[in-house]
Amino acid sequence: MKPAAFDYFRPTTLAEACTLLTGAGDNADRRVLAGGQSLVPMMAMRLARPTHLVDINRITELQGIHDRGDHIEIGAGTRQRSVEKNPLTPRKLPLLAKALPHVGHQQTRNRGTLGGSIALGDASAEIPLVALVLDATLVIHGRSGRREAPTAGFFEGPMMTALEPDDILTAIRFPVWSGNTGCGFHEIAPRKGDYAVVSAAAQIALDTDGVCIQAAVGVGGCAATPLRLAAIEDALVGKRLTAALVADAVAAVPGLIDPESSTHASADYRRRAAPQLVQRALLDALSEAAA
């Protein structure tokens, strides 16, 4: 199939892009084109039929990786492969560095953007899960101007986010953890590069006595959105972590998720796999932090 007819625009500034989106009319289906690795196939199958397509690839102010001290700010239009290869990523954002190789294939990461994955909001995608687990802050420009939004509450349902039709996600700010930190990321997928059936991300920080002072844990593919497992985090913080304590904590995971069956895996399989992946991610994190 071919995409339905649409009007195509290629602005060179953020202000121009915002004007195009706000001036499209109330009945227009306005879409932002960044990497296009999800949107273009959906258009080809006519699962998406935008009337106005605003290509933001030439807006240089949406690109780049910047060290701001307590956080790393990444332009939403930055290619996933650029983030993966940047030396700042493994040093300051190790969890993101571990997750990125699982995102599609290298060819798709060459075009796909960090912000595009978050804006799409797929519950099985790796980048939205990492953003949620790390409490990333999202910088958004829209009709009402510029605003910042937490990732908590941003993902509202299957490929549904808090972005309005005339909003553009412009940057993502990832907090940088200090001290004795470690992280882990694991997933199960039908084939390398496919969306995850289940994924798990974890990051912890230990004090000098080996007591957990901060924990962030989440799963993907286990609900309509990526999930942050606050109950697991609460069970870890303030304790000297051991493999046995981690195993006891993750036993609660099946009761915290709400998976659905699909052609790739049943809900029961996801419910059984999730605690195993969370445990592996936490044990990786503990090993790194202790070292």
Please say if the pLDDT value at position 98 is more than 90.
Answer: yes
Residues 30 and 88 reside in one and the same domain:
no
Q: Are 166 and 142 in contact (CB under 8 A)?
A: yes
Burial 20-39 (b: 16+ CB within 10 A, else e): bbeebeeebebbbbbbbbbb
Last residue of a domain, one of 175, 203, 233: 175
Residues 83 and 162 reside in one and the same domain:
yes
CA angle at 102 for the pair 91 and 218, rounded to the nearest 5°: 75
β-strand partners of 138: 149, 172
**Residue 82 covered by a domain:** yes
Please say if the pLDDT value at position 243 is more than 70.
Answer: yes
CATH value at residue 32 = 3.30.43.10
Residues 78 and 36 reside in one and the same domain:
no
**Residue 43 covered by a domain:** yes
Q: What is the pLDDT of residues 3-32, one digit of tens each?
A: 888 889 999 999 999 888 887 566 678 888
**Residue 221 covered by a domain:** yes
pLDDT value for 26: 61
Give 3-state DSSP helix, strand, coil % of the chain, rounded to 5: 35, 25, 40
Residues 81 and 122 reside in one and the same domain:
yes
Instruction: Look at phi and psi of residue 141 and say left if phi exceeds 0, alpha if psi is from -120 to 50, else beta.
Output: beta
What are φ and ψ of residue 72, in 5° steps? -105, 125
Domain count, the chain: 3
Mean pLDDT within 238-247: 96
**Residue 283 covered by a domain:** yes
Residues 225 and 257 reside in one and the same domain:
yes
Residue 86 — very low, low, confident or very high, per pLDDT cuts 50/70/90? very high
Cα–Cα distance between 151 and 258 in angstroms, integer?
20
**Residue 185 covered by a domain:** yes
Q: What is the pLDDT of residues 185-226, one digit of tens each?
A: 999 998 888 889 999 999 999 999 999 999 999 999 999 999
pLDDT value for 25: 61
pLDDT value for 31: 86
Residues 80 and 134 reside in one and the same domain:
yes
**Residue 264 covered by a domain:** yes
pLDDT value for 142: 86
Q: What is the pLDDT of residues 161-187, one digit of tens each?
A: 999 888 999 999 999 998 899 999 999
pLDDT value for 263: 86
Helix, strand or coil for residue 53? strand
Last residue of a domain, one of 120, 154, 175: 175
Residues 45 and 108 reside in one and the same domain:
no
For the chain, what is the mean pLDDT? 93
Give the whole-number percent of the chain exceeding pLDDT 70.
Answer: 98
Look up the domain containing 129 and give its range.
Answer: 64-175
Cα–Cα distance between 219 and 122 in angstroms, integer?
12
Please say if the pLDDT value at position 103 is more than 70.
Answer: yes
CATH value at residue 267 = 3.30.390.50
Residue count (the chain): 291
Task: Write the DSSP assignment of 129-147 as a string of letters.
Answer: HHHHHTT-EEEEEETTEEE
Residue 48 — very low, low, confident or very high, per pLDDT cuts 50/70/90? confident
Please say if the pLDDT value at position 138 is more than 70.
Answer: yes
Q: Are 282 and 217 in contact (CB under 8 A)?
A: yes
Residues 201 and 102 reside in one and the same domain:
no
